[in-house]
Chains A and B, each alone.
Chain A
Amino acid sequence: MERVRHLCACLILFFSGVLCCEAKNLAVVVNKNNATPNLAVADLSKIVKFENRKWPDGRDIVLVLLDPSSTEMQAVAKLFKIQPEVFKTLLGIHKASVVIVHSQQEMLRSVEATRGAIGLLDVYSISKEIRVVRVDGKLPLEQGYFFRAL
């Protein structure tokens, strides 16, 4: 007998975040000092495409991303309708505004340390040292959250 199944037979917590694809679990995270509570998908798209490079307080936006060839980033590019090659070119052009990291821990540290940072972090890696931003009013693992479409 499996303990968890037995213990939770009445409240089976098969919650909406039971996901196979890691990209579905991405949280949009910003530095703790950034007061932005919510981003519309259109605004997020502009940030990812470098069409918007400033926060409302005038601070430069720094995009913290996993390696663009990673599965997650390819899925993100697809979601924002950016061709992979175009995405790589954009990252090259704007390299002063981009930090490429190689792990979730590295991303967490980078967003913690950079005031204008915005990153896409695995929701199960979030800490209290960063802020999670709603996307179109939804948080990760909520029904209808934007990245669940991945």
Chain B
Amino acid sequence: MTQARAVVTAACSTVLFCAHLFASPFVSKSHARDTQPPQSGIEVTTKSATARADFEEGLSKCQTLHLQEGFQAWRKAAKEDPQFALVHILLANFSPDPGEQIAERGKALATRKFAGKEEQLVIDWLGNSSQGKWVPAIQAMNETLSEYKNHKFVLWLAGMWFTNQQEWIRAIPLYEQTIALDSGFADGWNSLAYCYARTRQFDKAFTAMQKYTELLPNEANPQDSFAEISRMAGRYDQALSHYHESLKIDPGFVESQLGIGDTYALMGEEAKARVEYSAAVQKAADKVQKARWSLQSAATYVRENNYSAADVAFESVARQAHESGLGNVEAEAYRLMSLYQPNHAKALDLLQKAATAVDEERHKLPQSLRDQEMAAVLRARVDRAVDAGNMELAAGTLKGLEKIAATSSDGAVHLSLGAASGAVLLAQGKVQEAISQLEDDDRNPVSMKRLAQAYEMAGEREKAKQVSENLVAFNEPVLEQALVVAPLRRNVNK
């Protein structure tokens, strides 16, 4: 197989084109089509055995959440065979670096012609999706799923695609099919457990999680996932126990250290949370992680209603982020500060500082990150304006947000727009239209609270009750949880 592209497209033109590019062994093997689902669960076309091995290693690493090693292996594969289209599109989709995402997408599209049919469909699907071209993306995805329904990788990828879009209900059957094909596929169980948990089917989530931990008894991540799902279910003590188990298996698995901090924060044990966050920050892999986890720590003061201490902590993160050139994190720090300010004018000042940080030239932020954070800042300003009854400011700010969304296909931007529009529409008494917008933002307590109110106003009592129950049971360690959910729980307990 050394020089052969083991699987080739059915299109003769591509076969002939490839035949010109590679040595004769390729030509002789190019018509031998392997109809069995390959080990990795997808047909893989590369001229290099080394690149193939690197690809397989990267996939295996990514599927057990050793992501950095996985990306490194994929980068090696791409270097070994620059025409390895599949590896380019996977890097384009999964790399945490926006610059690499764009560059790799370009390479994937340029090398698509060297790939087999299944890989070409995956490129069409993911390539279009990453540019917000949803119709051709979905068409390509469905064609891939229809033609390669027994290929584990394709089902797994589709499950992930739906998960990315919070379409948990649609992701579940795909993950179920994945593990029906291979019950030993650990990542399938992990992903399935999260989807069940997100749809509040906790019994099923814990069963899937049990299977995941049994399959990888010596890995830290299954314990970490078990802990997170326990926390989502409100089982804080169980969560702490699994996080500690994870750290026992791998003391370097710093996400579990962070998880302990998050769990204590939700439990109301803020001093303990800060100790754990501090330990996590010490072990953080890069300055972005350090800054973001420091924001988590700063939020513990908000949970204690100690706003002056929170101000000091958030200011400190903002300053460090500024010095490190992390304009979006600096903006996030100011935006989060604005959320808990009792003084309206001060909140607006902070949001202005956030906007300035995003725009500052020296930060050289990729456009996608600028758009995402600026949209979040404007959304926060709309929320503030609506709460203060300043509809003129709300409407003007919403226009700015619409302008960003008009030139961006980014989901986070559109989510911010929907939430802000929903807030304005609700304040204007346009209840049905508000519901339509707010339903999309179902993991943000501020929008969930407005949605429950909108359902009440529309006379949809059952839906209002359901959203309120979900809100009270919301256990994500975000600042909005502290500001919206914690007071609700205190009321419920009273």
Contacts of A148 in B (CB 8 A): 436
Residue of A nearest to B415 (CB): A14
> Beta-carbon contacts of B91-127 to A below 8 Å, as 1s and 0s?
0001011100100000000000000000000000000
Which one of B132, B135, B191, B372 contacts A2 once the chains associate, using CB atoms below 8 Å? B191
B411 sits at the interface (CB 8 A): yes
The answer to whether A124 touches B138, judged by C-beta atoms less than 8 angstroms apart, is yes
B368 sits at the interface (CB 8 A): yes
- Contacts A1-B65, A15-B411, A148-B436 known; A126 to B135 CB distance under 8 Å? yes
The answer to whether B138 touches A21, judged by C-beta atoms less than 8 angstroms apart, is no
B194 sits at the interface (CB 8 A): yes
Complex Cα gap A124–B165 (Å): 12
Complex Cα gap A9–B224 (Å): 17
The answer to whether B139 touches A3, judged by C-beta atoms less than 8 angstroms apart, is no
A17 sits at the interface (CB 8 A): yes
The answer to whether B411 touches A123, judged by C-beta atoms less than 8 angstroms apart, is no
The answer to whether B440 touches A139, judged by C-beta atoms less than 8 angstroms apart, is no
- Contacts A2-B225, A4-B160 known; A10 to B98 CB distance under 8 Å? yes
Complex Cα gap A109–B94 (Å): 35
Chain A residues touching B, majority SS: loop
The answer to whether B94 touches A7, judged by C-beta atoms less than 8 angstroms apart, is yes
Kindly count the residue-residue contacts between A and B in the assembled complex, taking CB atoms under 8 Å apart.
Answer: 122
Contacts of A124 in B (CB 8 A): 138, 142, 167, 170
Complex Cα gap A19–B162 (Å): 12
The answer to whether A20 touches B411, judged by C-beta atoms less than 8 angstroms apart, is no
B412 sits at the interface (CB 8 A): yes
> Beta-carbon contacts of A122-150 to B below 8 Å, as 1s and 0s?
01111110001000000111110000111
Chosen A-B contacts, 21 in total, with CB atoms closer than 8 Å, are A2-B225, A3-B62, A3-B190, A4-B160, A4-B194, A7-B67, A9-B96, A10-B369, A12-B164, A13-B164, A14-B411, A16-B411, A124-B167, A125-B142, A126-B138, A127-B143, A128-B143, A139-B134, A139-B135, A149-B433, A150-B436
Using a CB–CB distance below 8 Å, which chain B residues touch chain A? 62-63, 65, 67, 94, 96-98, 101, 129, 132, 134-135, 138-140, 142-143, 146, 160, 163-167, 170, 187, 190-191, 194, 221, 224-225, 228, 255, 368-369, 372, 405, 409-412, 414-415, 417-418, 432-433, 436, 439-440, 442
